[in-house]
């Protein structure tokens, strides 16, 4: 098969992709989901904390949630976007419950609300400590059963097809994508609309909490299609990833600190009081930077997250999944402090869009972590990620329904993928070498603490690798490894160039040559013309 036609092409199968697909199918549209691995492999699936939502209006309020979000975001947030998402949280929770998602409740039957770093009230709706697993499991079951939804697992999107690129019509719009199969064939997919819901870019860095699929594909694909990238220098490093020689990329939820966990140095001393009045409950940017500073100052490999002062039964009941994983790794949370380090976790920047997911390219929509709506600002407040992903899924789907109903110029037949003149590569070592070098470069030069000189060094090396990859891409048959390398290289360059534009330290971006925060908050916007010509 070289060609496929669908109403809506959804690239990505996290919370946004699956939820939006269900809404679209319910509206009578045929949906094709393309995902690189099994349908339940995503950042959403491994999310532990929950969805930040105002539920208890006697104790909490929308205004408090808005203020906490903007405080955590260091004032770089778009106020209208924060208002949009916060006020639509409760209705979205009810929609998810209506689909069968079971959130944790108290003995009185009301939702159990967790407390996480940066929040001033309990407002995190959760399903134990495996909220993402519960969400994706329920949505997956419904998606698989829906006859209007087709799922292509182990398929990789290469690039979007736009009318301007192929002069198919006077008006530029997205009309499909090229998709690589597991067997190496390329299918031309024609679609009335495309939704990018590909998640984040954690694998751009050497150490990350993200699964291997998080290679920034959506940002790279959307950017090449003409959508600007905004605030991509704002990469959130989660403060608490398990430090263990045999366990890789295990995130330890913000909720551990929210429920009373305390950060200590290896000799047992607390240190967060030196960095923030909320101590171990400080926002993630402050906490990650504090840990990084303590590690470098002391020469240690990790700090400790101490839960031992809490009731042992509470630990087991509140965090059953994390308790078991730690126990299996030889750590009893009831008695042993947990060794932790920061690692790349969440992309607060992304493709420029409205809160409803519309972009400057008609027919192209985005949702979830790949999107920049302005909700997160310079640092994401804990559990606002699943809030954004779920709300955007519903509203982007409604925008797509409206787009589909609007009259549009017809386009000619889409061009099939052309492999003329290319050959199979026998130099896969080139891909692996460049992949490793990009990730080491980003970790060493564009990590938690940056400087002008480090950024310049990073850009020089990334530019050389980009040239090698461009030549490689056009001369050899594409593979998933090559496509992911091409994407992380472009995303790495976008992050570095965005960081070089920001001459201040704000939120997640800390530059030792510009340690002060400017009086006025401004976005860092990078247009495709600046990088791609």
What residues are labeled active site? 284
Query: Helix crossing, 384-405 with 15-26: angle to 10°?
Result: 30
Bridge partners (DSSP) listed for residue 251? 241
Cα 387 from Cα 368, distance rounded (Å): 9
Contact 214, 195 (CB under 8 A): no
Cα 2 from Cα 162, distance rounded (Å): 18
Q: What share of the chain is helix, strand, coil (3-state, %, to 5)?
A: 40, 20, 40
Contact 377, 187 (CB under 8 A): no
Contact 224, 162 (CB under 8 A): no
- The vertex-20 CA angle with 18 and 23, nearest 5°, equals 115
Largest Cα separation within the chain, whole Å, is: 69
Cα 430 from Cα 472, distance rounded (Å): 9
Handedness of CA 355, 174, 360, 409 (dihedral sign): negative
Cα 385 from Cα 212, distance rounded (Å): 19
Q: List the one residue out of 386, 384, 383, 359 whose CA is nearest residue 371.
A: 359
Cα 197 from Cα 190, distance rounded (Å): 18
Contact 21, 6 (CB under 8 A): no
Cα 227 from Cα 490, distance rounded (Å): 14
Question: Which residues are CB-contacts of 79 (< 8 A; sequence separation ≥ 6)?
Answer: 66, 70
- The vertex-96 CA angle with 92 and 100, nearest 5°, equals 165
Cα 271 from Cα 133, distance rounded (Å): 33
Type and span of the H or E element at 192: strand 186-196
Cα 244 from Cα 227, distance rounded (Å): 40
Cα 64 from Cα 86, distance rounded (Å): 10
């Amino acid at each position: 098969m070289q060609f496929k036609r669908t109403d809506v092409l959804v690239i990505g199968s996290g919370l946004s992709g699956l939820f939006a697909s269900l809404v679209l199918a319910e509206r009578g549209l045929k949906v094709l989901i393309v995902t690189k691995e099994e349908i339940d492999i995503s950042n959403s699936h491994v999310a532990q904390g929950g969805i930040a939502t105002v539920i208890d209006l006697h104790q909490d309020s929308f205004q408090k949630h808005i203020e906490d979000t903007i405080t955590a975001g260091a004032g770089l947030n778009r106020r209208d976007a924060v208002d949009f998402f916060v006020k639509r949280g409760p209705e979205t929770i009810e929609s998810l419950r209506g689909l069968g998602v079971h959130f944790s409740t108290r003995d009185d039957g009301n939702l159990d609300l967790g407390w996480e770093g940066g929040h001033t009230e309990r407002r995190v709706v959760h399903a134990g400590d495996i909220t993402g697993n519960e969400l994706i499991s329920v949505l997956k079951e419904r998606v698989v059963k829906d006859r209007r939804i087709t799922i292509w697992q182990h398929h990789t999107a290469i690039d979007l097809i736009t009318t301007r690129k192929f002069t198919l019509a006077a008006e530029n719009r997205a009309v499909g994508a090229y998709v690589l199969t597991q067997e190496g064939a390329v299918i031309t997919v024609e679609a009335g609309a495309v939704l990018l819901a590909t998640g984040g870019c954690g694998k751009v860095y050497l150490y990350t909490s993200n699964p291997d699929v998080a290679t920034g594909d959506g940002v790279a694909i959307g950017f090449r299609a003409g959508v600007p990238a905004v605030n991509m220098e704002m990469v959130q490093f989660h403060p608490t990833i398990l430090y263990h020689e045999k366990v890789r990329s295990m995130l330890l939820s913000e909720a551990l600190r929210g429920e009373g966990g305390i950060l200590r140095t290896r000799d047992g001393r607390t240190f967060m009081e030196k960095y923030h009045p909320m101590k171990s409950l400080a926002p993630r940017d402050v906490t990650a930077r504090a840990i990084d500073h303590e590690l470098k100052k002391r020469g240690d490999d990790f700090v400790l997250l101490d839960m031992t002062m809490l009731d042992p039964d509470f630990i087991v009941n509140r965090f059953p999944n994390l308790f078991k994983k730690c126990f299996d790794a030889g750590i009893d949370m009831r008695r042993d402090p947990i060794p932790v380090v920061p690692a790349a976790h969440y992309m607060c920047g992304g493709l420029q869009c409205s809160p409803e997911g519309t972009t400057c390219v008609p027919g192209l929509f985005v949702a979830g972590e790949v999107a920049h709506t302005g909700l997160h600002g310079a640092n994401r407040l804990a559990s606002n990620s699943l809030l954004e992903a779920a709300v955007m899924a519903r509203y982007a789907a409604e925008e797509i329904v409206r787009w589909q109903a609007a009259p549009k110029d017809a386009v000619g037949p889409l061009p099939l993928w052309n492999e003329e003149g290319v050959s199979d590569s026998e130099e896969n070592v080139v891909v692996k070498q460049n992949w490793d070098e990009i990730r080491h470069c980003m970790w060493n030069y564009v990590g938690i603490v940056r400087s002008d000189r480090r950024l310049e060094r990073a850009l020089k090396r990334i530019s050389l690798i980009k040239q090698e990859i461009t030549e490689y891409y056009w001369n050899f048959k594409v593979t998933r490894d090559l496509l992911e390398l091409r994407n992380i290289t472009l995303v790495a360059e976008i992050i570095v160039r965005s960081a070089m534009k920001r001459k201040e330290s704000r939120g997640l971006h800390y530059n030792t040559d510009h340690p002060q925060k400017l009086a006025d908050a401004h976005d860092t916007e990078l247009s495709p013309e600046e990088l791609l010509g």
